[in-house]
Structure 1
């Protein structure tokens, strides 16, 4: 086996070789290097469309890689400290779902926090595993769920020794990190796999000034959103696995749902971005940390806002904090996060990642510049001056943990009926209700609908949150399990 060279980008190099040969295409895609769709060429550019090609021997095959894609996987694994890496073209949703489908079967238990992304619960619907939710502490007054506490995990393991896996999202959207090493130790001591939703932690592998990554902590699998902080194209992701996992079995699970027509644009973007991080990631993310810290200082100096960071660390509920995250509590100026989010976009032409009831998140990555930070800070100061109010009409953004009555799979496929939100109080939810982003369900199939949750949903709707998941696009009614079913 030839030594790995992180200067290589084998998929990109293979596409360049193909492009120079000027092969006549009698295969798909039907636009034939763009000749059949000039408007697409005008939008994306000739070079981009010319490498939107199908699998062929010189370009390998994502479902069964033996040459350039296999080499790109090996380079990615080495860059992230994994035993193996899979290039994923279905987003980190597909990576998360593969982790669960590869470790959990119908009726088996998985221990996890409730503030997981919808892709996790979707996977439980697909495979029939039973969630064992650990209660999460909440940071007051900002209302965000904190880390997976090891004492509570130990208790859950003791109460459910038959569970097969533990899943943790680390870091969270808001930058909260759990004690991954101790989580791994506790789970492995009981024969359980550790799965990490590391969608927001691509950068953790490339700086010793950041919290420990999943692979560094000894996790069995980790889903990494390369397109978030790693610089690759949207919908491209990595799935990393440790030494104890059977890589080819995991590939079989991936191939159950993955497209057989993999996008070489996405694959090449993963290849090039991995090379960039391996060669320049450390210095790049140090700049990101500096920009985020500067932004926090400037925003906190405005007054009213609270851009939080390592001061939240207590060693248990918040074991560590990802300082690249610029999460800001906004209710101190009397506005919800979604209101500030809308004002930034509509009045200042600034698009941030999301706004919820209490917070906004401005995603800072390797593509940001200091002048962009200055523009954001200036806009937030202006919003406070022009729009601040007393906030007496606000409700807390406090995270609410629903009560699970039925498994997600049983509830999702059970007979349902539609009720107005207020009429649904006391019934079992049959679908998802979530604000997106961040995509953490307020309600999932099988959970009890309470008045507190309904009030939260109505307030979120009133303030402009994008509610999704229900059959009703306006979220006026919700599907519940029929009582006689």
Structure 2
């Protein structure tokens, strides 16, 4: 039961009071409410630029909040069912990295599935944590990694009783959910913390018909991308903590890497979005789920495409499925996901979230309308009619789990050399290689490169995937251990 009056938006109310005072600015930012940069005002609007202000006493300070930001964080914790909440302006990347840096130091083990976001790997490069991978199965028909199985979690925990924490994707980018509540129970029995990467799970907190949220499952920390399904501005995020975390220590960790010049545009968007979800989230996400299910049904009627959903649930590796995720397998019409992604954008003016080797994801959220869904369905029908071809030459697997040889920190900071991609078979990778989005690494520092991985990277390049993370922007050369 919520204890706070969720109709309040303290940061926004403070900004409104500040705006009415017409304070003369002799502080930063230097555009001085837009007067010094009229082109910026033309682009963003006078009200937006006028609220791009610096921390000051009436507006509090994100690094050490004592008034309106503190109140906004308390309201957020209440709305999400957490003991503590932190407003984050360096994206959910910063939230994920804070979680890991809060529970791990150099040499500490952390259990993770291999299909984590690059921010997890980068956090281990920063703090020196040692990854222990929990194996995940792959759905052979659609080529996506599934959730982590409970017995596999138990096995890995029994084999690594000194591990400090386990990180779980809730849900994955594709909508797959693990049995988080049971994993939390097992982890706590082993004395481990549970970190939930909920970059794609904001909505789970506001509708009981959706999979369980991290805080409801008893996780110790959760990183939540409010800007994805929650409606706040890009780069704004929240970090949630349970009762067994030292919130002031977590704040210190946040302040190691987060900017000291917090954007009040981002902060106010978090404040307003939290209020909106607290007051209207349940009905909003019920509508989102209905739209996504309608789209799934219509797309599967086309033939060739497969918009998957709750039928994947098996009670273990797919314990639950987030139906708001409109994930669609495309190789049934002979096209990779990235090819369909490009066609939708270039030929139909439809921008979807991502396309990979086998799938696309259309992100359905509180801002979508049924006519937008109809347009997407019509475009996919048209693409099948105009571009369908034989699929026999397509790569059938999407997810490869490489052998881990060194820690990410050791591999990243050791002596390295760049070699042509085709000469790296058997070498140890010293950098990230990934398709972005979704930002799940194909290779991380410390993993052995294989012929299969090389072929996958070459296929991804040929099909137009945006490969990132390497020193060489063309990904012709890969950095390997010398």
Q: TM-score range by the shorter chain?
A: over 0.9
Give the Cα separation in 1 of the matches to 2:392 and 2:137. Answer: 25
Query: What secondary structure sits across from 1:102 in the alignment?
Result: helix
Gaps of 5+ in 2: none
More off after superposition, 132-141 vs 72-81:
132-141
Query: What secondary structure sits across from 2:103 in the alignment?
Result: coil
Matches within 5 A, 1:355-434: 355-434=355-434
Query: What secondary structure sits across from 2:368 in the alignment?
Result: coil
CA displacement 1:91-147 (0-9 Å, x = unmatched): 000000000000001001001101000000000000000000011101121000000
Gaps of 5+ in 1: none
Matches within 5 A, 1:345-360: 345-360=345-360
Query: What secondary structure sits across from 1:16 in the alignment?
Result: helix
Matches within 5 A, 1:146-157: 146-157=146-157
CA displacement 1:402-427 (0-9 Å, x = unmatched): 10000000000000001011101100
Q: How far apart are residue 396 of structure 1 and its match?
A: 1.1
- Whether the aligned pair in 1 keeps the contact of 2:140 and 2:397 (CA below 8 Å) is no
More off after superposition, 388-397 vs 152-161:
388-397
Matches within 5 A, 1:320-335: 320-335=320-335
| 1:284 is aligned to 2:272 | no
Give the Cα separation in 1 of the matches to 2:430 and 2:209. Answer: 44
Give the Cα separation in 2 of the matches to 1:346 and 1:178. Answer: 36
CA displacement 1:317-339 (0-9 Å, x = unmatched): 10000000000000000000000
Give the Cα separation in 1 of the matches to 2:127 and 2:300. Answer: 45
How does the TM-score come out when normalised to structure 2?
Answer: 0.99
Query: What secondary structure sits across from 1:455 in the alignment?
Result: helix
Query: What secondary structure sits across from 1:418 in the alignment?
Result: strand
Provide runs of 4+ in structure 1 moved above 3 Å: none
Give the Cα separation in 2 of the matches to 1:91 and 1:397. Answer: 31
Matches within 5 A, 1:28-427: 28-427=28-427
Give the Cα separation in 2 of the matches to 1:354 and 1:396. Answer: 18
Query: What secondary structure sits across from 2:453 in the alignment?
Result: helix
Give the Cα separation in 2 of the matches to 1:147 and 1:37. Answer: 49
Q: How far apart are residue 251 of structure 1 and its match?
A: 0.1
| 1:437 is aligned to 2:437 | yes
CA displacement 1:342-369 (0-9 Å, x = unmatched): 0000000000000000000000000000
Give the Cα separation in 2 of the matches to 1:134 and 1:214. Answer: 19
- Whether the aligned pair in 1 keeps the contact of 2:357 and 2:460 (CA below 8 Å) is yes
Give the Cα separation in 2 of the matches to 1:297 and 1:130. Answer: 43
Give the Cα separation in 2 of the matches to 1:130 and 1:304. Answer: 42
Give the Cα separation in 2 of the matches to 1:403 and 1:300. Answer: 37
CA displacement 1:31-55 (0-9 Å, x = unmatched): 0000000000000000000010000
CA displacement 1:25-84 (0-9 Å, x = unmatched): 000000000000000000000000001000000000000000000000000000000000
Pairs aligned (count): 481
Give the Cα separation in 2 of the matches to 1:63 and 1:50. Answer: 22
Give the Cα separation in 2 of the matches to 1:112 and 1:433. Answer: 18
Q: How far apart are residue 397 of structure 1 and its match?
A: 3.2
Matches within 5 A, 1:9-28: 9-28=9-28
Give the Cα separation in 2 of the matches to 1:207 and 1:257. Answer: 33
CA displacement 1:218-272 (0-9 Å, x = unmatched): 0000000000000000000000000000000000000001111100000000000
Q: How far apart are residue 4 of structure 1 and its match?
A: 2.2
CA displacement 1:249-304 (0-9 Å, x = unmatched): 00000000111110000000000000000000000000000000000000000000
CA displacement 1:398-455 (0-9 Å, x = unmatched): 3100100000000000000010111011000000100000000000000000000000
Give the Cα separation in 1 of the matches to 2:438 and 2:383. Answer: 23
